[in-house]
Amino acid sequence: MKNFLTSMLGALAALVIFTFGAALLFIGFVGVIAAVGNKEKTEAVEKGSYLVFDLEANITDAPPIVDFSMLTGGRVETLQLRTATRALRAAAKDDRIAGVLLKGALSPAGYGSGFAALRDVREALLAFKASGKPVKAYLTFAQTKDYYLASVADEIILDPYGEILMPGLASEPMFLAGTFEKYGIGIQVTRVGKYKSAVEPYTRKDMSPESREQVQKLLDDIWGTIRGDIAASRHLAPENVQAVVDAEGLIRPSAAKAAGLIDRVAYRDEVIDELKAKTGRRGSRESFKQIALQSYARGVTGSHSNRGFSLGHHNTIAVIYAEGAIVDGEGEMNNVGGDKFSRELRRLRQDNNVKAIVLRVNSPGGSVSASETIQREVRLTQKVKPVVVSMGTYAASGGYWISTYSDRIFAEPSTVTGSIGVFGIQFDVKKLANDFGVTFDSVTTGKFAGALTIARPKTDEELAVLQRMVDWVYEQFTTKVAEGRKLKLDFVREIAEGRVWSGSEAKKLGLVDEIGDLDAAIKYAAERAKVGNDYRLEEYPRKKELAEALAEAIEKMNPGAGASAKTLVGRISARLGEELNALGTFNDPQGLYARLPLELQLH
C-alpha cells in the first residue's frame, strides 16, 4: 500500500508539474501569437530611403492568416500578392521613397509564385518605374521567375560568381502506374475528354500524345508571354532572348552581360556602398537608408486597400480567395472546402453592406460535388449583387466550374484555365492484400451494392454505370459553360475535351472576358456595384483558430524544418509527397472529379 501511495503521489505531482509547465508554454505561445497578430507599429521611413523587396518568399494570392515573421527572425516566408503590389504603388507616390532594390530569389510552394501572380507584381514595378524613380536588381542565382521580375529594373547587377538559370519552361509529370503495378494496386478509370489527362499518372508510364500536345501548346503560350515581357523591358528582340537561352541555359555573368540580360557585374558590398552614397550615408557604418517592403506595407492605408475580418462599412467590396484543390466538406488549410467556402459566400451574399464580390481563383479544381456546391452559391449571389472572377495562376476544371457564371472573368495571359472535362478513378487492393494473406468476401442485396469497393476490380457492368455518371456530369459541365459564358453548346464541346488553355487563348475562345489583374477585377466590381470610390475592401478567408496558429508556430520554430527540401532526396520526397497529397484530395463522394490534367508544374 505504501508503494502504491508513493507511486500515485509521484504520478500526481508529475501531472501537476506537466500541466503547469504546459500551461506556461501555452500562455507564452498565446502571448507571442497575440504580439504577432497585433503588431501594428510600423517602422519610420527616412526621406531618401530605398524600398527593399526581398524575393525570398512564396507569393500567394490569399493573405497569410497569421504573420510568423517575428518567429522566423523577421524573414517573411509568405507574401500576399496584394501586399506587394499595394506597397509598390504607394511607394511610387511617396516622396520619402527614393527607389526600389530587388534582391534574393523566390521560394515557390504549392500554388504560390506562379507566373500570373508574378506578372501582377511586375506591372506594379513598372508603375513604380514610370514615376521616375529607379528600380535596381541585385541577383546571385536567379531562376526564370526571379529574372522575370528583375528584368523590369533600370539596372540589373549580377554577382561575379552568380548565374541566371533560365533554360526555358519545362513540365515533368511524375507517373506512379509502375509503382501501383509492382505493389498490386489496381486502377480503373472513367473519363470524358481526350485531353483529360489527370488520371494518366496512375494509369500510364509516360504522357499520352494528346497530353503532350496540350502541354506543349500551353508552355509555348506562357513562354511566349514571359520572353516577350523580358525582351520589351531589356530592349531586346524576343528571338535574341531565345538565342541566349538556347545557347547557354545556365547563363554565366559574362554571357548575360554580352547578351544584354544584365547591365553589370559586381559584388554585394559594392552595391551596398553605392546605395549608401545615394542615400547620404557614404562612409557610415550604417547600411543605406532602407525599409523592407513588408514593413512599409503595414503603414500603407486607404479606403480601398484595407484588409479586414469584419464587415460594417456601408459599401464593402469583398475579395474571397479560392486557392488550392477543391475538396468535399470543410477542407484542410491548403485547399478549398466546398461546404466551408459556400458558407462564406452565403454569408457575404446575405450581408447588405457587401455590394459586390470578387472571387479570386487559384485552383486546379477537384471534387465535382464541391465545385457544384460553390457554383450554386455563386449563382444565387449573382442574382442580388455583382460577382466578378479574377483568375490567378490556375483556374482550371473545377476552378473554371466555379467561375463560369460570374458577371465577368479576368485572367492573366499565363493563367492556366479551361480543362473542361470529368474523370472518375477507382482503386482496388485485391492483389496487394492477397500477397499478404488478406482475403475478402461479401454479401450484397443488390447487383451494384459493391460497385465502389476497393476489395476487387470493378466489373464491366459496374464500370458502365460509372461511365454513364461521368458522361452526365460532363454534359452538365459543358451546358453550364455555354449558358454562363453565352456560347453555343457545340462550340463549347469542341474546345472542351478536358483541354487546358492559356489565359490569352481562353480570351480568344470566349472562356475569359478580359485580360487583367486582381486590381482590374476589383475596379470593375466597384463600377458594377455603382459605389464609385466610396468603398472598403475586405479579404477572406478569416483568421485561423488559435490552436491551428499555435501548431504552425511550433513548426516554424523548428530550425531544421524544411532543410531537407534542398537535398536531392528531399526534393524527390517532396515531389512524391505532392503527388500523394493530390490523391488525398480525391474525396468526392461519387468519385467524380473536374481536375487539372496531371500535377502541372511549370519551371
Residues annotated catalytic, as ranges? 196, 397
E-strand spans in 368-444? 387-396, 408-411, 416-418, 422-428
Instruction: For residues 593 and 582, give the distance between their C-alpha atoms in angstroms, rounded to a whole number.
Output: 12
Cell digits of residue 500: 487546358
Q: What is the 3-state secondary structure (H, E, C) of 358-383?
A: EEEEEECEEEHHHHHHHHHHHHHHHC
Q: How far is CA 239 from CA 135, 154, 167, 246, in A?
A: 25, 21, 14, 10
Rg (CA), the chain: 26
SS3 at position 102: strand
Cβ–Cβ < 8 Å for 139, 118: no
Instruction: For residues 563 and 345, give the distance between their C-alpha atoms in angstroms, rounded to a whole number.
Output: 38
Instruction: For residues 320 and 305, give the distance between their C-alpha atoms in angstroms, rounded to a whole number.
Output: 14
Strand order in the sheet with 336-337: 186-192, 422-428, 592-595, 365-367, 326-327, 336-337
For cell 479579404, the residue is 539
Q: 437: left (phi > 0), else alpha (psi -120 to 50), else beta?
A: left
Q: What is the 3-state secondary structure (H, E, C) of 284-340?
A: CCCCCCEEEHHHHHHCCCCCCCCCCCCCCCCCEEEEEEEECCEECCCCCCCCEEHHH
Pairing of strands 536-540, 58-60: unpaired
Contacts of 18 (CB under 8 A, 6+ apart): none
Nearest to 554 by CA among 33, 65, 76, 15: 33
Instruction: For residues 532 and 526, give the distance between their C-alpha atoms in angstroms, rounded to a whole number.
Output: 6
Instruction: For residues 274 and 139, give the distance between their C-alpha atoms in angstroms, rounded to a whole number.
Output: 16
SS3 at position 389: strand
Give kind and range of the element (H or E) at residue 197: none
Instruction: For residues 155 and 264, give the distance between their C-alpha atoms in angstroms, rounded to a whole number.
Output: 8
Give kind and range of the element (H or E) at residue 33: helix 2-37
